[in-house]
Amino acid sequence: MYVRDAKNRDEVWLLDSLEELGLDDGSFRSRDYVIALDEESGEKAGFGRIRVNKADEPFCEVTCVGVSERWRGQGVGAHVVERLVDRAAAEGFDTVYGFTADHGYCAQFGFEAVDAEDLPAGPRQRLDGVREADGDAIALRLDREAFSMPERLRERFKAAAPASGGDAEPELTAEDFGYDEETPTKYSTNLRR
């Protein structure tokens, strides 16, 4: 299992996964995402987004973190968050925000709740927008140096395997790309002379 930056070819899977998990990303850009993949099968297990908000004082947010049901409870989401925090640091942000009602999950990494009144203008405005969809959302802040990965999640991630049942990502065929293997074309390898 490993986490990498998303590629253009991951867009359809990302959009389908966002829809399936009920996550809203009104300004979708695949280049903002990271994806967790199984090394052996190549199956995509989870994802998350780093969002740089270009307010008067730019700030960085971890958002849209999701894990496929078959991969939950194995540290996949934790490693996605870790990669996103690393990307925020690479982009020059020492502080990362999150806006969610699931603050218990984030607290294990070092995120701390922040009162709306104590937020700078940009993050406060973002929190107000998130609360329109989720009235229970709170603001969380993480100073990059305070991030910590619980050892239990690191160990689970090393041995991660999909839960039995459920469907794995289907294997793509030529028909998925609009090709009919029975019809000869200029570039076909099945031409008969």
Domain containing residue 19: CATH number: 3.40.630.30
Could you list the residue range(s) of the whole structural domain that residue 90 is in? 2-160
In a domain, 45, yes or no: yes
How many domains is the chain partitioned into structurally?
1
pLDDT at 192: 47
* Residue 193 maps to a domain: no
Place of tokens 């998130």: 130
Taking a C-beta distance cutoff of 8 angstroms, is the pair 140, 97 a contact? yes
What pLDDT, on a 0 to 100 scale, did the predictor assign at position 29? Answer: 81
- Residue 166 within a domain: no
Rg of the chain over Cα atoms, rounded to whole angstroms, equals 20
DSSP characters over 63-131:
EEEEE-GGGTTSSHHHHHHHHHHHHHHHTT-SEEEEEES-HHHHHTTT-EEE-GGGS-HHHHHHHHHHH
Assigned domain for 192 exists:
no
Rounded CA separation 69/33 (Å): 19
Mean pLDDT by 10-residue block, N- to C-terminus, for the chain (193 residues)?
91 90 78 90 91 86 89 91 93 92 87 92 90 89 89 86 62 50 53 47
Indicate whether 174 belongs to any domain: no
Within a domain: 171: no
Contact 97, 123 (CB under 8 A): yes
CA distances (Å), origin 166, targets 69, 92, 119, 122 = 8, 40, 42, 41
Phi, psi of 105 (to 5 degrees): -60, -45
Instruction: Note whether residue 40 is domain-resident.
Output: yes
The pLDDT of residue 61:
92
Q: What is the pLDDT of residue 182?
A: 57
pLDDT at residue 47, as a whole number: 92
Task: With respect to residue 176, please indicate whether it lies within any of the assigned structural domains.
Answer: no
